[in-house]
A and B are shown apart, each in its own frame.
Chain A
Amino acid sequence: MDAADREQLLARLRGVVGERYAFADPYEMRLYQYDASPETALPDIVVIPGTAADVARVVKICADAQVPITARSAASSLAGGTVPVEHGVVITFARMDRILEIDPDNQRAVVEPGVVNLALSQALKPLGYYYVPDPSSQGACTIGGNVGTNAGGPHTLLYGVTVNHVTGLELALPSGALVQVGGRKAAAASGYDLTGLFVGSEGTMGIATKIWVKIQPLPPVQKTLMAVYPDVETASNAVSAIVRSGILPAAIEMMDKLSIQAIEAASHAGYPLDAGAVLLLEVDGIPELVDELGERMAKACRESGATEVRVAKDEAERQALWKGRKGAFSAMGRLSPDFYVMDGVVPRTRLPETLAKIDAISARTGFKICNVFHAGDGNLHPLVLFDAFKPGQYEAVLRIGDEILKLCADAGGSVTGEHGIGLEKRENIRYVFSDDDLEVMDRIRRVFDPHGLMNPGKVFPGEVLEGSAPSRAPDHASRRAAAGIGGDDVWV
């Protein structure tokens, strides 16, 4: 975009949101060039609208000017979902962070997209309710962003991911329309389920300006267990054995030896340093049952090779165990200046062989790979440790990532369980979908966004889209250094 076009567009956008909330100063915009993925790209203009109507007006102005639009909230995306790779306008939701309504009678809450995930559950707690999906970044990530990626979290094993908890959306579309789909009642009773279609579309169809979510009664008691295994293989075989035993815990998380060391150094969660792998399991239930379930689960753990099973004695111990897990990625800074997070999924019965193959890749390439992940649903998060300032390392790590995603796909799994395709995996999506599959999806995208302006360069491989996005920038390390991005503040 040339300077004159930018000035003209900026003036029009300021006419909607006011002088203060639209800016194009390169220094101010630096904050908006990255998310939690390694890629960066500067927007031309950043807009911070205050209302849904303003979002619709901003989208319309941009669409009329054929300028790309990227929605961004907390920018905790690990897949580059909010990096404005084709520049244009970034719309951010810092001012749209209101919980509009809590409606226990209908078991719903209505929120703006910028509401922080955890803030909603905290607001619901006094009423005995919570919002179930709990990404590890829940202290920062927003419900709007969660809708974009169809976010998961440890406790989605039993209760489902974002799409299972969203019943309605208000959408700002490139046409300029502000449309409500679904709403307070149970999802879609007549007409196509546009709510379900939109969730997880990563900002490529439009922008959610209002979200109706289900709220659920808090479980009376939660029991958290830590099971210690001699190695990753025994632990991953145990996952299938536990699930097959008939108990589906609310969460089953796994951490390998390297992760345990990093976590213990950072947060003293109480994981044994000599363990080969640790499973963190949680069941919820009524007081008269939860002990029995805990015992049955402990028994299943021991029978599947656990050398030690420890039950959290109280809430403090439980919180410590979870704090370690949820802070795992931040703790990796203790081990390595940089790390690259993958998000593959395999059927849980294929966990042992997949982890063995990942281990072999690590041995072959010399890069250390940690595994901290949602074992219960087979959602792997291998972390490849590297140093971006060493020449060639970043490129090598990308190749490793690609290889890992390929083996997940070949095992009958997927290339992303909860982070989204974003920018990062737009070529890897071919491992799970054929040209025909992608062509149908692209046709649907065009219904919403005929000119390819909504978060362009994401989800679809370059060739599927007209005017494909630039490939990964070669000077990653220097740009990353210039942007001052460290290895902290990343969750999964």
Chain B
Amino acid sequence: MKGRWFKVYAIGYLLFLYAPIIILPMFAFNDATVIAFPLTGFSTRWFAAMFEQPTLGLAVKNSLFIAITSSILATTLGIFAARASTRYRFPMKAGIMGLIMLPLVLPEIIVAVSLLVVLLGMGVNLSLWTVILGHVLICTPFTIAILSSAFQSLDQSLEEAAYDLGETAASTFRLIILPLVMPGIISSLLISFTISLDEFIIAFFLAGTEPTLPVFIFSQFRFPAAVPVIMALGTVLVCLSIVLLTIAEFFRRRGIAKTGGKDTGGFL
């Protein structure tokens, strides 16, 4: 069987992909200060120690604020762009959409330094809001990718029927289009939230003195004694993002099923 070798390879590849995630909880529950093998014993003390970190609480609060605000703003901008690109032809479409999607491939450090230069040049003080400006920029292309597939699978005759029945453009959008693309919107909110929560470089450059969760984690890597707590924190974060992604995937699939489209696969 030729297919079997492919399957063995693919499973091996998945193991490679999951290797760090499998190792993470081993050290989070390991009763030793040094992150190395062999493991010494089971302990939950690193999880308890998380709550004794005052900066961590602040970092979590800041990151949640940034992630919630960024995901709402990015999804709003994403709705406009996805609707425009799936429904209309307009002048310079390729150029405009290209610019909007550019952060998908542009190294984040370039986004970070260019925003930093402009903001400091304008005399803006760095704060959580400057991080949000950057996060909205990098999340928007992902929201457009998700929302475009939601808008694309819309049947345009539904919209025309609503107009024929006397609805206005605004009420058609609210009554017909919005409910049908709602699963896409929820999925896009969750994905942007996950991206923003995990984003490091832009926050590192633009947060000023405010800690965000990844900036806090990065700073702790310098202190070997702090690393086990970070492993515990990482375990919590990985579980959280798997839950969020599973919910996002559920809504994305439901959205496609609802509009009668064909599932073409993942988020990217």
Please say whether chains A and B are actual partners in one complex: no
The chain B residues found within 8 Å of chain A, CB to CB, are none
The chain A residues found within 8 Å of chain B, CB to CB, are none
